[in-house]
Structure 1
Amino acid sequence: MNLPPLPPVGGETSGRSIVDVLGEQHRELIKLTDRLTDPGQDDPRVASVLVATLSRHLSAEEQYLYPAIRAVVPGGDAIAERELAEDRELLTLMGDLERTGESGPVAAAVRRHVQADADELFPLLEQMVPAEDMIRLGNRVETAEEAAPTRPHPRTPSTPPWNKVVDPALGVVDKIRDMITARTTYMRDLK
């Protein structure tokens, strides 16, 4: 991978690999979808948190995971394009969830997304990308996620360099809207 170096801490690059970071996010997304589809669930904030968490997650994947797949995996362009198309569909479904409250399609799409990454993308990366680069990617994903939008924007650019410019700008706007409306956007804020 052609990534600019990060300053080493203690002689080695520190942090978690991209697979660890995204895997943890996937577990959180599954918990949220389970909670959202639970018949006894009556907290409207769960849908808002799922949409915000998934929006941040997809933005970070589009900025770093898919470009890494394109760069190192034979046939990576086709894999990345397929995943981007599924992400667009998922962003549209999230918009539908916010408008209608219909959670079934989003929950199914989230489960498909998580399974595809775990079964196909993560093993490919682990085979083809050196451990230090995996950690660098993980660090970048964590940074990108914090600057990412908290609402779905299916018509914005989904590939670098433009998504690395547009997503943080939309993230600022979304976070201001969230603050004004007192919208819950993190799982830790659900009691």
Structure 2
Amino acid sequence: MGHGGNAIDELMTDHREVEEMFARIQAMTTGSQQLRDMVDEVTIELVRHSVAEEQYLYPAVREHIQGGDRLADKEIADHGRIEKILKQLEKTDTDTAQMGPLLQQLMDEVAAHVQDEENNLFPMLRQACTAQQLDDLGDKIRRAKSMAPTRPHPSAPSSPTASKLLAPGAGLVDRARDFVTGRGKS
């Protein structure tokens, strides 16, 4: 998290990190604390990434890409589905029969979302924005990720304005909970 560079490079690095986490998850056995820790870690990364995209990337898509409203709305809907799965995973014991299918559903949803962004959205954004605009957007995304919540909040508003107002507070509460419980420290 917080890799430097322009927005597209930043987000693509996040995508590769999540793919690596998924590979580690697939190699684990169900019912282990190690699996719970890894699910928590991937949840933290996906929530931070999604919040940053909703606050800054998708408004830039709306502003700079023709038909950007439709594209941004589709990506936000993807996030909503992913966040609901993350919330289910948060409540599911790693040794139950539901864990495997939920993890597979999450990996499938994230893979489709990543492929769509990298094959469609990012090339359009790269063409529509200057290098300086993408660098500035990268800085904003890194700041947003550092303040973002670490737990799924599927019922939270997804508008950029509401997210910018509410995410830092939710992020502070989530990080305090994580500190007390040790979540995300593996």
Distance in 2 (CA, whole Å) between partners of 1:174 and 1:29 is: 20
1:39 is displaced (CA, Å) by: 4.5
What amino acid maps onto 2:133 in structure 1? D
Equivalent pair of 1:37/1:104 in contact (CA under 8 Å) = no
Tell me the equivalent position of 2:106.
106
Q: Which runs of 5+ in 2 are unaligned?
A: 93-98
Residue aligned with 1:103, SS:
helix
Residue aligned with 2:153, SS:
coil
Residue aligned with 1:74, SS:
coil
Tell me the equivalent position of 1:95.
87
2:9 matches 1:20: yes
What amino acid maps onto 1:166 in structure 2? L
1:51-70 aligned within 5 A: 51-70=43-62
Distance in 2 (CA, whole Å) between partners of 1:173 and 1:90 is: 21
What amino acid maps onto 1:30 in structure 2? E
User: 1:15-70, CA deviations, whole angstroms, 9 ceiling, x for partnerless residues?
Assistant: 51000100110101111112112254741200000001100000000011100100
Aligned length: 172
- TM-score (ref. length: structure 2): 0.88
Residue aligned with 1:143, SS:
helix
Q: Which runs of 5+ in 1 are unaligned?
A: 1-14
Tell me the equivalent position of 1:3.
none
Tell me the equivalent position of 1:35.
24
Residue aligned with 2:12, SS:
helix
2:144 matches 1:132: no
Equivalent pair of 1:97/1:106 in contact (CA under 8 Å) = no
1:157 is displaced (CA, Å) by: 1.5
Equivalent pair of 1:63/1:163 in contact (CA under 8 Å) = yes
Distance in 2 (CA, whole Å) between partners of 1:169 and 1:120 is: 33
Tell me the equivalent position of 1:166.
166
Equivalent pair of 1:18/1:141 in contact (CA under 8 Å) = yes
- TM-score (ref. length: structure 1): 0.86
Q: Which shifted more, 98-107 or 117-126?
A: 98-107
1:75 to 67, 75, 95: 67
1:128 is displaced (CA, Å) by: 0.4
Distance in 2 (CA, whole Å) between partners of 1:38 and 1:69 is: 36
Q: Which has the higher helix share?
A: 2
Tell me the equivalent position of 2:96.
none
Equivalent pair of 1:55/1:148 in contact (CA under 8 Å) = yes
Tell me the equivalent position of 2:155.
155
Alpha-carbon RMSD across the aligned residues, in angstroms, is: 1.3
Give me the identity figure in percent: 35
1:47 to 39, 44, 48: 39
Distance in 2 (CA, whole Å) between partners of 1:110 and 1:153 is: 17
User: 1:109-136, CA deviations, whole angstroms, 9 ceiling, x for partnerless residues?
Assistant: 1111111110111101110000001000
